[in-house]
Structure 1
Amino acid sequence: MRYAFFLLLRATPAWLRLSRNQRRALTDLHLAPLLVGPEAVRMRYFDAEAFTADASDVMMIETEDPRHHYFFMERLRDSPMFTVPYFELRQIVPAIEEGYALYEEARLAPPT
């Protein structure tokens, strides 16, 4: 089963005041290391500020183990991305990729 967690983020003025090169350097320094190791998760990043005022960015975290997402979030909360803060966490939307198909498969499987 593959889990996806959509983190709705809002960039703070501290982040927006940085140059694009500074932002890239901070991301490489503080975010990239969170995506490696035995509890690694996959991340995709989306810009949303041109389309909504609720969130400036959407981070999608994918994993087969929800504990890995939890551990990622603990490390993220300890990073300058949240402690300065450069971003505010507005909402987390958890989802299961193709959950309906998994349900249907389980319902149609012969009893064991």
Structure 2
Amino acid sequence: MTTNEKTLAEQDDLTIFMLVKTMPEWLAMPVEERFGHFQRYVTPLLKKYEQTVRCRIFDTEFYSARVTDVWMWEAKSRHAYELIVEELRETPLWDRFFSIVEILAGVENAYARNYDREAVSA
């Protein structure tokens, strides 16, 4: 792989912030049932794409009424992330148990990389 090809491959990394809101049907379920749905629908997807996609879940209901959770997806492959979304859309998690409020995708330090500069961070 040439240096240019390696740089282009690295630029495929993507972080996606999926802002979601729990629906009344979800909140009406016992906690064990909620965890069961994640085990049934999310765990197999994370295992299937474990080499290319990672998910972290942040609770925000303490500080926001519009969004109750942020699902942060870290993808080494944009296509793998797209495939996960396609599969999630076929489950009751998508727009039944959770309302997908907004999806924000970003590339960490793209500005620095695009200008061949060192990223500013603390």
TM surpasses 0.5: yes
Taking structure 2 as the reference length, the TM-score comes to 0.79
Any conservation in 2 of the 1:34–1:40 contact (CA below 8 Å)? Answer: no
Q: Which residue does the alignment assign to 2:59? A: 47
Aligned residue pairs total 105
- Mind listing any 5+ residue stretches in structure 2 that lack a counterpart? 1-10, 118-122
Q: Deviations over 1:19-65 (max 9, x none)?
A: 11111111111111111225741000000111111211100111122
Distance 2:52 2:90 in 1: 17
RMSD: 1.7
Native 8 Å contact 2:52 2:77 kept in 1: no
Find the counterpart in structure 2 of residue 57 from structure 1. Answer: 69
Alpha-carbon distance in 1 for matches of 2:108, 2:71: 16
Quote the Cα distance in structure 2 between the aligned partners of 1:36 and 1:24: 16
1:10/1:56 contact within 8 Å kept: yes
Which consecutive unaligned segments of at least 5 residues does structure 1 have? Answer: 107-112
Alpha carbons 2:22, 2:97 under 8 Å: kept? yes
Give the TM-score of the pair, scaled to structure 1: 0.85
Secondary structure of the structure 2 residue equivalent to 1:50? coil
Contact 1:3-1:62 at 8 Å conserved across structures: yes
Aligned equivalents of 1:23 and 1:82: distance in 2? 14
Higher mean C-alpha deviation, range 63-72 or range 30-39: 30-39
Alpha-carbon distance between aligned partners in 2 of 1:40 and 1:17, rounded to the nearest angstrom: 34
Give secondary structure in 1 for the equivalent of 2:45. Answer: helix
